[in-house]
Amino acid sequence: NKALIGFSERINDPAFASYRRQTTAWSFIFAGILAVIVIVGFFIYGETSSEMDNPEALYIGLGIGGMFLTIALLATISRAMVKQWDGVVIDKKVEKKTRRNKDSDGRYYVERYTSYTVVFKTDRGKILNRSVDDDDTVFNYFEIGDRVRQHKGLGTLEKYDKSRDSIIFCNACSTLNDINDDKCLRCSCPLLK
């Protein structure tokens, strides 16, 4: 299907700018609600508990609430720093790995997992890796030699040739969609095809 070959002009749809604005707004609204809950909760704890008094409890609540807002700010900055680039898939790796984790009793145990990595080379020569543990969906989506584009401020790569695909990732929210759909089933942004 020739209609599925090429980078999509649908990236210019106002839905993407709207999605970015809404994501930023919801990040701060959610962080703000959590911050208020924590601050009020610690204040009440300081007033009613014999273990900790105000203002110490309130200061702890303010610190944790500030942490939630800082995380929202850093996530927004991180999204804004994603630059556009074009490149090609140059390698794919599957590695069996182990890591140490702690259980709820504080005991260490060894967890086995599989790391799926897709390696990209940008047109400027930079090598970038995208790895996911125990999920081969993205790994199987890309083939060595695929041309890709990272769009500014978005999290998912667009493939140049989608003509052999039965699935497509939403470039706004990364949700997996059927290639025949025109809009993402989760966020309603246009699918880039």
Q: Residue 122 and residue 87: Cα distance in Å, rounded?
A: 4
Grade residue 150 by pLDDT with cuts at 50, 70 and 90. very high
Grade residue 104 by pLDDT with cuts at 50, 70 and 90. very high
The pLDDT tens digits of the residues spanning 23-43 come to: 899 999 999 999 999 999 999
Q: What is the mean pLDDT of the chain?
A: 94
Average confidence (pLDDT) over 159-171: 95
User: What was the pLDDT predicted at 94?
Assistant: 98
Q: Which of 75, 65, 68, 22 is nearest to 42 (CA)?
A: 65
User: What was the pLDDT predicted at 41?
Assistant: 96
The pLDDT tens digits of the residues spanning 110-137 come to: 999 999 999 999 999 999 999 999 999 9
Average confidence (pLDDT) over 128-157: 94
Which residues in the chain belong to E strands, given as ranges?
85-102, 108-122, 127-133, 147-150, 157-159, 167-169, 176-178
Tell me the percentage of the chain whose pLDDT exceeds 90: 88
Per the DSSP assignment, residues forming a β-bridge with 184 are none
Average confidence (pLDDT) over 57-82: 93
- Cβ-count burial of 2 within 10 angstroms (0-12 exposed, 13-18 middle, 19+ buried)? exposed
pLDDT at 1 over 80: no
User: What was the pLDDT predicted at 82?
Assistant: 86
Question: With the CA atoms of 66, 69, 75 and 81 taken in that order, what torsion angle do they form, in degrees rounded to the nearest 10?
Answer: -90
pLDDT at 2 over 80: no
